[in-house]
Amino acid sequence: MKNIFYSIAILVTTLGYGCRNSGGHLSISTMDNNTDFKFEAKYAEDKTGKLEKYLDSALNNELPLDQNIDLFVNLNGSDKFNLKAKKGWLTIDFDKRNSSLAGYMKVKKLTEGIKRKLME
């Protein structure tokens, strides 16, 4: 009886760890209303390097996504967005009320590129 209990406990632990660290999980959500645009991505930590390279080239800025960052990224002078990231997680918050349509379109295009990179 003890052997069965231990076997089940080891199986559950192994499956839980494997599912969490399988490298295949991806969750992307977007909220777009009249005042805000919010994007959140939860992804496999091993894709952080690929995403970092994409953002570095798209924004002409080096962002260390493997560290906990919380910063405002300036798009073109007056338009900016808040980017928060760490390994396996990234959020972008853009305030439409204090920004231009061109800035909104740039952020939208950036998040579409992020989605494509994470789905590769």
Which residues, given as ranges, of the chain have pLDDT below 70?
1-23
Strands, E assignment, 17-109: 26-32, 36-43, 69-74, 80-86, 89-95
Give the right CATH number for 23-119 from 3.30.450, 3.30.70, 3.30.460, 3.30.420. 3.30.70
pLDDT in tens, 44-70: 988 988 998 998 888 888 888 878 999
All structural domains of the chain with their residue ranges:
23-119
Q: At what angle do helices 48-59 and 101-119 cross, to 10 degrees?
A: 150
Long-range contact set of residues 58-63: C-beta below 8 Å, sequence gap at least 24: 58/110, 58/113, 59/110
Is the whole-model pTM more than 0.95? no
